[in-house]
Structure formats: C-alpha cells, structure tokens
Structure 1
Amino acid sequence: MSRPRPDQQRLGLIGYGAFGRLAAQGLSPHFEIVASDPAGGDATATLAEAAACPIVVLAVPVHVVAQTVAAIAPLVRPGALVLDVGSVKVAPTKAMDAGLPSGVEVVGLHPLFGPQSAKNGIAGLRLAVCPVRGPRAACRVAAWCRSRLGLKVFLVSAEDHDREAAVTQGLTHLIARLLLAMEPMPTRLTTASFDRIMEAVEMVRHDSPAVYHAIERANPFAADVRDRFFALADQARAEIDKG
C-alpha cells in the first residue's frame, strides 16, 4: 500500500502481477493505492479493503474477471467507479455490467502497452477506453488519462476494440510465438527489417501465458483472423512450391 497524502483519493487495485505493479507505479503519484492480490502475491490489502475504495481497478487475468466481479459485488460501495485493464474487452465488460450493483459506474480499459514497452515511461502510449455504464464515466476517465498521464486515448466500443485487437495483438503474439519456437536466430547477417521484427518479438517475449490465452482465445474475433492468416500462409507456400 502506498503512503498517502492528505489530498489523495484511495484507489483499489485488485491483481498485483506484472501489469498490476506497473499500474501501481504509474498511479501512485495521484492516488493512495490499496492493492490486493487474489493470486497471493505481495500486495498487503484485503480484497474487501480494495473493493471498498471509490475507484476500483481490476488487473486480474481475463479468465478470472467474472469470478472477481462476483467476489467484489457485495463489497463495492454505491457510486464507485470500477474499471478493468484486460487485453480483450467484450467478455470482461459484459461480466462487470451484469455482475456489479446498479449504482456503480463501469468502464473498460485496455492499456496498449506492458512493462516492456513502458520501461521508459507511459507518456505518449495508447489507451483504449470502452464505455459500459454511467453516462459520463468513460469521458471523465479518458480526459483524466490524457491530461494527467499523457496517454493517447481512444474511445471505442468493446466490440470494435476486440475486432481491431484480433489483428493488431492477435497476429503479433501469434507470429512472435512461432519465431520464438525457431530460436536460436542468426544475429550477424541481419537486415534492418529483420531487426525490427525481432524487436517486436522481444516486447512480448515475457508476457504471461494468461495474456497469450486472452488475446488468442478470449477475443471473439481472433479465430477468424487466425484462419485467414493461415489460409494466406498456405496459399503463399503453395505458390512458392509451384516455382
């Protein structure tokens, strides 16, 4: 738990893995962070303490968002703002909307960065903000993140987010996994384009299996993108084999 200033609002952070710790680092200048980790990490607050804050951020894996929502629903205070930061948005936002009390505002977030890409700071990086519940909640969150954190903010529906992310994230992680399986790679006679590809691989090399699962399995549009990609790869191989 961060040391509070008298003027700081309390922010409950549920989930204290790699991204939860990054979130705590970035938000601690602005909030008193009350961090709880259902996975048993080194956060010190209880789930009830974190869920009782005026702002609650769910930084848990996508596949446990629904059960986390069920656990905090009796603990969240009326008027609170609850957000998630998962890599997909359709399923988590539906779970929050269905499972949280009616007096709670809900916004889905996807920071389009992680610990690797944010190692030099988050200013200028991208954030998707998905309205869920509360007429002005998403706009308030977007404006705050833009002005206080310096992020490039995009207001987008959960469906449109997942449709685009199935390409931009789904293909990136899929290709990276295949290239990692081909290691060791040559490092001497490389081209600039090859180096850029490997830089992208390095940015996702240490992502957890839960992140990969969410991007490839929990996104409802990812399977169609993969099918098209592999079909085009088969077509390209057939054309090469024909000579």
Structure 2
Amino acid sequence: MTQVALVGYGRFGRALGTLLVESGMSYRALDPFSEVPEPYRVTSLPELVAGAELVVVAVPVPRLHSVLEALRPHLRPEQLVMDVGSVKVKPVEALAEVLGTKVPWVGTHPLFGPLSLAMAERPLRVVICPNPQHPEAAGRARRFYERLGCEIVEQTPENHDRVMAHTHALTFFVAKGMIDAGTGINVPFAPASFKALARTIEVVRSDAGHLFAAIQRENPFASEARSHLLKALEEIHGELERLPPESSAQEAGHMAIPAPQAGSPELTEARAHIDQLDRELMELLARRTELAQRAARAKAREGRPVLDPAREESLLAERRAWAAELGLEAEAVEELFRSILRFSRRSQAKGN
C-alpha cells in the first residue's frame, strides 16, 4: 500500500486525506496549526516521512521554503516531494533551491478543493509541471494522481501562472469587488445572467475565499491581468458615458457584447444549448453516482442494506412536488427518478 506523508492538514490537506483513503492509500499527517485525527497523526518530521513514498507539502506558499528546509535533512533520494500550491513559479523555485538534484520533486496544482470533493464534482484535474532535474518525477506524480481518479494537464510553471492569472486570479478579483460593492446582495429577483455570477461568487466564498490575497500576491502575472481588466472596464465605462442620451441602437452597436455564434439559425442555437445542458446533466449524474457510492460505503460500515424502500418513496414524493412547482409532469419526473435510483443501486453494489 502506498504510504503518503502530508505536511499540512488545513482545508486542502484534510480533503486530500479523505481522497487518499477512498483510493486505497494510507497516509500520515503533521500540522502544528490544525488538528489531525488520531489514526493519522504524527508528532515529528522524522516520524512523518519514515517509510513514505510520496511527501505532499500542503502549506501556504509563503511558508513553503522554510518547510522544505526543515524537511530536507529527513528526506531520502527514493522519495518524491510534491507541492500543491495554486501558483507554480515561486513554489518550483523553492523546490529547486532547497532540494535541487538530491531529492526528486515536482510542482503540482490540484484544480479542486474541499467543496469540489464534497459535491463529488468530476472530472478532477491536476496540473503537473515537469522537472528537467528529475525527468521521472512527473511520471510518478501522474500515476499518483491518476490513482486518485484525476485527469492530468502538463504545463510549465510560467504558462500555468499566466493561465491562472487570467482565470483563477481574475475570478477571485471580480468576486471580491462585487462582494465589497454589495452587488446583488439580498435582492428579491435577479436575471439568469446574474444568478450564474452569484453561483461563482458563492463557490469562491465557500471553497477558497481565504486564499484571495495569496492568489493575487504570489502569482507573478496576476497584477498584469488585473491591470488589463481594469483598463478594459475603464474604457468601456468611458465610452458609455460619452454616448449621447438620444443615441440609437445602431449608433451604439459597437458596444454590444459579441455573440458566440453571430447570425446562427434558431434551431442550431437551440440544439447547441441542449447539447450543453445534456453534458451538464451527465456531469451531474456522475457526481450523483459518486455520492451514492459514498452513501453505500457509509451503509456498509453501519451494517445497513443498500436498498431503503422508505427513503426511496420519500425521495420520489419530494421530486414529484418539485416537478409540480416547476410546471413539469410529475409522473414523467417520477419515472425518470426511478430509473436514476435503479442506476444508483447498481453503482452502489459495484462500489462495494
């Protein structure tokens, strides 16, 4: 059984520990600032890394260098050290400086967090930054993450941080601005466009709002990305202010947001939206299956059967009520959910 050492047991460390156990790997953890459950707790770095094949350093980026220096005397050349930071240029520099050619290392960024795992989101993706000093390290990291059920994307640290600056960092930046401006807080109604933004804001707040400053400050490209966004917004604001009040729609046409498929026929557009919704439904079904298997494991530990007729009938009655609220045919919705429940029972049986 693969033994993993977790240095750091904060929000992500705890979530990774759960994923390790579910994947059949064992681990030990050390964190002076967080409570580690007794079966996994150790009290010193030598005890933590002894016998471990992989050492995962899950600490804030500003602490990474000092933690690596403390680890270095206890590491062996056959072990692999990985970080899991949401930026990569600075962590890779720290890994190279402290471990160099002596101990294999690789920079990684799991693109998921505690909320993603709790909601059984799939696929789980991880960015790995291949290390020329240890060519085999990326392959070992890939095999580790694939055992956890992850898809792998390889990038250089610089390319990773550039992409994250224009996606991850900007998402947090916009979310923080909207929260501080009180935009859309407790409104009695809102259009679908804002509801999508609101969901994004809630994900940021629930999953990683505590990382806001680190994501902005530790990514060397984040400042440039923020500046470009602010410049574009300022230019749009200026143009809107300069438009005469009596401007026609044609005169203001250059301010329109470009459509993804300008001039596409109505049927083509409708089919594209249906395809997208079906894809989302499949992803939701995959998440539901993962949660059903998780429930089956809990039932097995308690000695309870997979089939729970009373629970299923209660669930179906609730789904019929939901269907009625939305103006859907309750009987058809019940038939659909009976099929989903049969699918869940099969997946639970396979999972056990």
The alpha carbon displacement at 1:114 in A equals: 1.3
Extract unaligned runs of 5+ from structure 1. 1-7
- Range 148-157 or range 168-177, more displaced: 148-157
Q: What's the secondary structure of 2:68's corresponding residue?
A: helix
Partner of residue 29 from structure 2, selected from 11, 32, 35: 35
Q: Aligned pair in 2 of structure 1 residues 127, 225: CA closer, same or farther (>3 Å)?
A: same
Alignment of 1:73-152 (within 5 A): 73-100=72-99, 102-121=101-120, 123-132=122-131, 133-146=133-146, 148-152=147-151
Extract unaligned runs of 5+ from structure 2. 244-352
CA distance in 1, matches of 2:24, 2:96: 27
TM-score (normalizing by structure 2): 0.63
Question: Residues 130 and 155 of structure 1 are in contact (CA less than 8 Å); yes or no, is this contact kept in structure 2?
Answer: yes
Q: What's the secondary structure of 2:114's corresponding residue?
A: coil
CA distance in 1, matches of 2:209, 2:199: 18
Q: Which residue of 1 aligns with 2:45?
A: 47
CA distance in 2, matches of 1:192, 1:49: 53
Pairing 1:66–2:59 present: no
Alignment of 1:128-207 (within 5 A): 128-132=127-131, 133-146=133-146, 148-183=147-182, 185-206=185-206, 207=208
Larger relative strand fraction: 1
CA distance in 1, matches of 2:190, 2:202: 16
The alpha carbon displacement at 1:187 in A equals: 4.0
Q: Which residue of 2 aligns with 1:237?
A: 237
Q: What's the secondary structure of 2:117's corresponding residue?
A: coil
Pairing 1:221–2:221 present: yes
- Range 82-91 or range 27-36, more displaced: 27-36
Question: Residues 165 and 219 of structure 2 are in contact (CA less than 8 Å); yes or no, is this contact kept in structure 1?
Answer: yes
Q: What's the secondary structure of 1:12's corresponding residue?
A: strand
RMSD: 1.7
Q: Identify which of structures 1 and 2 has the higher relative contact order when contacts are C-alpha pairs closer than 8 Å and 6+ apart.
A: 1
The alpha carbon displacement at 1:141 in A equals: 1.9
The alpha carbon displacement at 1:83 in A equals: 0.2
CA distance in 1, matches of 2:103, 2:17: 22
CA distance in 1, matches of 2:49, 2:143: 24
- Range 57-66 or range 179-188, more displaced: 179-188
Q: Identity over aligned residues, as a percent?
A: 35
- Range 226-235 or range 181-190, more displaced: 181-190
CA distance in 2, matches of 1:164, 1:27: 28
Q: Which residue of 2 aligns with 1:4?
A: none
Question: Residues 89 and 158 of structure 1 are in contact (CA less than 8 Å); yes or no, is this contact kept in structure 2?
Answer: yes
Question: Residues 101 and 134 of structure 2 are in contact (CA less than 8 Å); yes or no, is this contact kept in structure 1?
Answer: no
Q: What's the secondary structure of 1:86's corresponding residue?
A: coil
- Range 217-226 or range 131-140, more displaced: 131-140
CA distance in 2, matches of 1:227, 1:109: 27
**AA at the equivalent of 1:232:** A
Larger relative helix fraction: 2
Q: What's the secondary structure of 1:205's corresponding residue?
A: helix
CA distance in 2, matches of 1:93, 1:15: 18
Aligned residues: 233
Q: What's the secondary structure of 2:153's corresponding residue?
A: strand
CA distance in 2, matches of 1:150, 1:122: 11
Question: Residues 82 and 107 of structure 1 are in contact (CA less than 8 Å); yes or no, is this contact kept in structure 2?
Answer: yes
The alpha carbon displacement at 1:76 in A equals: 1.0
Q: Which residue of 2 aligns with 1:17?
A: 10
The alpha carbon displacement at 1:134 in A equals: 1.7
CA distance in 1, matches of 2:89, 2:231: 26
Q: What's the secondary structure of 2:59's corresponding residue?
A: coil
